[in-house]
């Protein structure tokens, strides 16, 4: 469906979607795709990874247009495991907010000042540096409220302002935090446990009680560098004798 939406009017979407237009600019191509520019360490290389401008990542900001007949949608990332019935989540009252998400500010590095450039006056004037971050990966979106509040328009405004990458460096979470600022309803943490792709200290009971566990981070369960104690949450659903998986050289 997303391919149909994107290809229905190429020139129109190029003008409509800031990320598509930015990808066409000479400066952006130079920054993301040229190998001969100077670099200074792995963090700089991370910022230059073209995946952070992937339109597939940014499609999350166009959900009402991709699914125009839906009033509510459950957004799930591709590195999660659903362990429990998600039906009760549809009954959660978002209290007029657009985004239902699990907050992640139990640790200081998940507050807004770690994602956004507060030395920029546009950021400093509009956002609280101590505001709590939240997680993509399992989100309930009220698409009726989305349309009413023109969420996609808010995203466009800030994405256009960040063409020179001075408001935030990379990814879809910073513009998500901006776009849904004041419009996010905190969900119970048991709905979505994060960090299985980087944090070896998550309590076993938290993982087992979670409706969704999320392997965000580099240590995906299908890779050799996975955190071994978290792999069973994934492997128990895998048919390792499937021909496609055998081609991927995956083993129990």
**pLDDT tens digits, residue range 197-240?**
999 999 999 999 999 999 999 999 999 999 999 999 999 998 88
Assess whether pLDDT exceeds 50 at residue 7.
no
Q: Which residue has the tokens 């700089």?
A: 44
Burial 155-190 (b: 16+ CB within 10 A, else e): bbebbeebeeeebbbebbbbbbbbbbeebbbebebe
CA distances from 230 to 188, 206, 216, 251 (A): 22, 12, 12, 15
Determine what percent of the chain is predicted with pLDDT higher than 70. 82
Whole-number Å distance between alpha carbons of 197 and 217: 4
Element (H, E) at 212: strand 212-214
Query: Is there a contact between 116 and 167 (Cβ–Cβ < 8 Å)?
Result: yes
Q: Pick the residue with more confidence: 245 or 59?
A: 59
**4-13, 158-167, 199-208, 228-237 — which is least confidently predicted?**
4-13
Whole-number Å distance between alpha carbons of 137 and 194: 9
Query: Is there a contact between 102 and 132 (Cβ–Cβ < 8 Å)?
Result: no
Measured over all CA atoms, what is the biggest interatomic distance in the chain, rounded to whole angstroms?
56
Predicted local distance difference test score (pLDDT) of residue 190: 97
Signed CA dihedral, 135, 75, 93, 184: sign only: positive
Whole-number Å distance between alpha carbons of 59 and 76: 13
Assess whether pLDDT exceeds 90 at residue 49.
no
User: What is the residue-averaged pLDDT of the chain?
Assistant: 86
Classify residue 99 by burial, with Cβ atoms within 10 Å: 0-12, 13-18, 19+: buried
Residues in the chain: 252
Predicted local distance difference test score (pLDDT) of residue 251: 67
Signed CA dihedral, 234, 235, 239, 242: sign only: positive
Assess whether pLDDT exceeds 60 at residue 39.
no
Assess whether pLDDT exceeds 50 at residue 154.
yes
């Amino acid at each position: 469906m997303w391919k149909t939406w994107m290809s229905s009017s190429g020139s129109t979407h190029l003008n409509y979607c800031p990320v598509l237009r930015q990808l066409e600019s000479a400066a952006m191509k130079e920054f993301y795709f040229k190998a001969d520019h100077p670099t200074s360490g792995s963090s700089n290389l991370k910022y230059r990874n073209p995946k952070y401008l992937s339109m597939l990542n940014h499609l999350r900001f166009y959900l009402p247009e991709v699914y125009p007949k839906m009033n509510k949608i459950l957004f799930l990332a591709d590195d999660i495991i659903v362990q429990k019935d998600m039906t009760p989540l549809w009954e959660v009252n978002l209290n007029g907010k657009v985004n239902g998400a699990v907050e992640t500010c139990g640790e200081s590095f998940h507050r807004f000042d770690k994602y956004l450039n507060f030395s920029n006056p546009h950021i400093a004037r509009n956002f609280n540096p101590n505001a709590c971050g939240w997680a993509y990966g399992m989100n309930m979106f009220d698409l009726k409220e989305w349309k009413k509040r023109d969420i996609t328009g808010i995203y466009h405004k800030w994405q256009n302002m960040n063409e020179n990458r001075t408001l935030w460096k990379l990814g879809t979470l910073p513009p998500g935090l901006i776009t849904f600022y004041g419009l996010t309803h905190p969900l119970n943490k048991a709905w979505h446990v994060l960090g299985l792709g980087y944090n070896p200290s998550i309590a076993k009971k938290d993982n087992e009680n979670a409706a969704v566990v999320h392997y965000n981070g580099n240590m995906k369960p299908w890779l050799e560098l996975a955190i071994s104690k978290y792999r069973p949450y994934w492997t128990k659903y895998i048919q390792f004798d499937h021909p496609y998986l055998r081609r991927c050289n995956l083993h129990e």
